[in-house]
């Protein structure tokens, strides 16, 4: 550029001058053109949307269309004096007002007084108020009546990025048009067109970086393109664009994610070091990592990712190839780690450390075996184990008759076989036939069990005490019972009334007068048989040991433990 020549930035030089040049807002341009062709042009419009998507440009195009010297048509000619004046901003009948700097009630009153006059040489006086949400409440109130019933020669066009800040009374008096963010392919196509007009050599990858920097704003993308051309000249290379715009090269993101999924921690940390060396913000890097893995997840989860992701065809193909051997679940688990790390970085003093830790966790994350695969393996084992013993909880068990439960007793360490259970009380023997010593045989111990059952039927309170006693001696006309020394049961059994009641029930059970003696025994007294409570507890523990051993040795249980790398915690009979 020679000295003294005025340079016009790309955003102004290539500003849309007709509806056909308005990129990405076809729904707005088509509606306005149809309204113009049918003569249904409203008196007030509200254009809303993000910055740099064409709101003010559309307002100017609309003004040129209504005031074009060639007549009201759906496209301005851009060659008549009216169109040229509006393009240059010198028209006396089109007022462009900045709502941020003219937001007082006095400014609106002046405007309201001026619009009463007819246009000087145009069809309409058009009022364009940019960032209209910046007007004060009093200014809005002063505008209400004029906005609802303006003169026939006046049209209002409002533009704002924050429509929620406008009073409902203003919104209800305008036709609202919501402008969309411009898609990445549309921005790239426009940048490629401008690069051709400016004779600039640039790759599609660099154009994608510039377009992504614009974040859906055509004006921001053109501003970034202007900055790149000022730095690189007519020949642009990818490295210069990435360095100048402060963006991470997508190839580096691809390399880091590829190393992550192959478990290469060395390459992952080397990638973080490279990001840090160029001075790139670590939180921004983490956000780009999140976006990268989000793209991978969408590609692996839907049939047509191009309809969801704002990516070029080349980028889609590259990501498809990278995600080919990744499951959606594996990607999602790692994406969760990065989301957590990004949230922690807002308050962290060592952002690089947080990123490194998140990447290492994601790299060393153990793969998950699908649940259906585990179920299929277990079913296969069950099929193969048809002839193996059944599981403990599948075993059928028989129960003793409720009328006369069996009592099995043994001396401590010496088991004794159970005695037969009488079917009816009438079949009970007339006397206790136990031998003099409990070690002489098993009949006396069994008789003691039947006697306690008999007592329980007559007096549950007496029976509950006797269950904790051991039959030390059982002779004709004598029963000697031992209870743990110092226990509550010994104290209760030594009560004279208790002994009288037991003697009375013993006489009823044996048919003869029977004396009952109670004595205390020390814990671990080797010659005393187990009490009913101790015997029941011992049998339960022995049964549980058998069940645990049976369950742990079952081939299906062993295979489940191997698959899940687990161990049995508890075994419970059903």
Report pLDDT for 358. Answer: 93
Q: Which residues lie closer than 8 Å to 21 by C-beta, 6 or more apart?
A: none
Q: Is the pLDDT of residue 436 over 70?
A: no
Map 120-142 to HEC letters: CCCCCEEEEEECHHHCCHHHHHH
Cα 335 to chain centroid, rounded? 10
Angle of the 443-458 helix axis to the 496-510 helix axis, nearest 10: 110
Q: Please report the pLDDT score of residue 5 as a whole number.
A: 63
- pLDDT tens for each residue of 249-262: 777 888 898 899 88
Distance, CA of 275 to CA of 293 (rounded, Å): 17
pLDDT per residue as tens digits for the range 350-379: 899 999 999 999 999 877 666 777 777 777
Mean pLDDT of 454-479: 84
Residue 396 has what pLDDT? 41
Question: What is the fold of 184-245?
Answer: Helicase, Ruva Protein; domain 3 (1.10.8)
How far is the C-alpha of 107 from the C-alpha of 127, rounded, in Å? 13
Nearest to 33 by CA among 4, 68, 62, 3: 62
Give the best-scoring range by mean pLDDT among 196-200, 308-312, 495-499. 196-200
Parse the chain into domains and list their residue ranges: 10-178, 184-245, 250-363, 389-553
Inform me whether the pLDDT recorded for 156 exceeds 90: yes
Q: What is the pLDDT of residue 423?
A: 42
- Give Cα 197 distance to the centre of its chain: 48
| Three-state SS sequence of 233-281 | CCECCHHHHHHHHCCCCHHHHHHHHHHHHCCCHHHHHHHHHHHHHCCCC
3-class secondary-structure state, position 452: helix
Closest-CA residue to 515 (of 491, 483, 480, 482) = 480
| pLDDT above 90: residue 480 | no
Indicate if the pLDDT at residue 47 is higher than 90.
Answer: yes
Greater confidence, 371 or 198? 198
Q: Is the dihedral of CA 434, 435, 437, 442 positive or negative?
A: negative
b (16+ CB within 10 A) / e for 45-61? bbbbbeebbbbbbbbbb
Quick: pLDDT tens for 50-65: 888 999 999 999 999 9
Distance of CA 571 to the CA centre of its chain: 35
Q: Average pLDDT in the 553-567 region?
A: 78
Is CATH 3.40.50.300 the right assignment for the domain spanning 10-178?
A: yes
Higher pLDDT, 427 or 457: 457
**pLDDT the model gives residue 398:** 40
Under the banding of pLDDT at 50, 70 and 90, the label for residue 574 is: low
pLDDT at 388: 47
176 touches 156 (CB < 8 A): no
Give me the pLDDT at residue 569, please: 75
Report the residue count for the chain: 574
Over residues 498-511, the mean pLDDT reads 86
Closest Cα partner for 24 from 250, 147, 157, 179? 179
3-state class percentages of the chain: helix first, strand second, coil last, to nearest 5:
55, 10, 35
The pLDDT of residue 431: 41
State how far the Cα of 102 lies from the Cα of 96, in Å rounded to an integer: 11
**pLDDT of 215 above 70:** yes
Q: Report if pTM > 0.85.
A: no
Q: Give the per-residue pLDDT at 419.
A: 40
Summary mean pLDDT of the chain: 81
Look at residue 315 and tell me whether its pLDDT is greater than 90.
no
pLDDT for 126:
92
Domain made up of 250-363: CATH architecture: Up-down Bundle (1.20)
């Amino acid at each position: 550029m020679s000295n003294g020549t005025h340079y016009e930035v790309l955003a102004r030089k290539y500003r849309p001058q007709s509806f056909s040049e308005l990129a990405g807002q076809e729904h707005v341009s088509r509606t306005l053109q149809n309204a113009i062709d049918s003569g249904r042009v409203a008196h007030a419009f509200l254009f809303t949307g993000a910055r740099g998507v064409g709101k003010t440009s559309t307002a100017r195009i609309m003004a040129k269309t209504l005031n074009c010297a060639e007549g009201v048509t759906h496209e301005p000619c851009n060659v008549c004096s009216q169109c040229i004046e509006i393009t240059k901003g010198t028209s006396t009948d089109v007022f462009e007002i900045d709502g941020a700097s003219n937001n007082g009630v006095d400014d609106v009153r002046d405007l309201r007084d001026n619009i009463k006059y007819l246009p000087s040489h145009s069809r309409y006086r058009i009022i364009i108020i940019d960032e209209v949400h910046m007007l004060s409440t009093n200014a809005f109130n002063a505008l209400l009546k004029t906005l609802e019933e303006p003169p026939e020669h006046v049209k209002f066009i409002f533009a704002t990025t924050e429509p929620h800040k406008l009073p409902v009374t203003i919104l209800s008096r305008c036709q609202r048009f919501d402008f969309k963010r411009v898609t990445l392919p549309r921005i790239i196509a426009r940048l490629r067109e401008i690069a051709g007009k400016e004779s600039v050599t640039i790759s599609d990858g660099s154009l994608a970086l510039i377009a992504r920097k614009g974040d859906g704003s055509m004006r921001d993308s053109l501003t970034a393109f202007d900055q790149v051309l000022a730095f690189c000249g007519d020949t642009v290379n990818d490295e210069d664009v990435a360095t100048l715009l402060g963006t991470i090269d997508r190839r580096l993101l691809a390399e880091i994610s590829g190393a992550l999924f192959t478990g290469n921690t060395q390459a992952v940390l080397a990638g973080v070091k490279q990001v840090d060396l160029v001075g790139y913000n670590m939180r921004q890097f983490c956000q780009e990592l999140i976006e990268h893995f989000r793209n991978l997840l969408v590609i692996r989860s839907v049939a047509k990712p191009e309809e969801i992701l704002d990516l070029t065809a080349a980028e889609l193909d590259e990501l498809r190839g990278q995600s080919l051997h990744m499951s959606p679940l594996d990607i999602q688990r790692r994406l969760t780690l990065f989301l957590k790390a990004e949230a922690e970085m807002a308050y962290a003093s060592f952002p690089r450390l947080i990123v490194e830790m998140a990447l290492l966790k994601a790299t060393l994350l153990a793969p998950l075996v699908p649940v259906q695969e585990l179920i299929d393996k277990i079913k296969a084992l069950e099929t193969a184990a048809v002839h193996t013993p059944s599981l403990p909880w599948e075993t059928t068990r028989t129960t003793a008759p409720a009328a006369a439960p069996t009592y099995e007793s043994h001396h401590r360490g010496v088991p004794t076989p159970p005695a037969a259970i009488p079917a009816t009380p009438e079949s009970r023997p007339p006397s206790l036939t136990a031998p003099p010593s409990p070690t002489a045989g098993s009949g006396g111990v069994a008789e003691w069990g039947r006697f306690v059952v008999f007592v329980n039927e007559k007096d549950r309170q007496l029976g509950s005490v006797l269950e904790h006693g051991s039959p030390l001696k059982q002779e004709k006309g004598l029963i000697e019972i031992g209870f743990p020394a110092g226990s509550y049961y010994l104290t209760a059994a030594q009560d004279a009334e208790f002994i009288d009641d037991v003697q009375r029930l013993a006489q009823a059970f044996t048919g003869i007068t029977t004396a009952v003696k109670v004595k205390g025994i020390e814990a671990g007294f080797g010659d005393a048989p187990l009490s009913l409570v101790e015997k029941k507890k011992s049998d339960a523990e022995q049964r549980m040991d058998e069940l645990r051993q049976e369950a742990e040795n079952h081939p299906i249980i062993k295979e489940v433990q191997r698959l899940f790398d687990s161990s049995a915690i508890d075994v419970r009979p059903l």
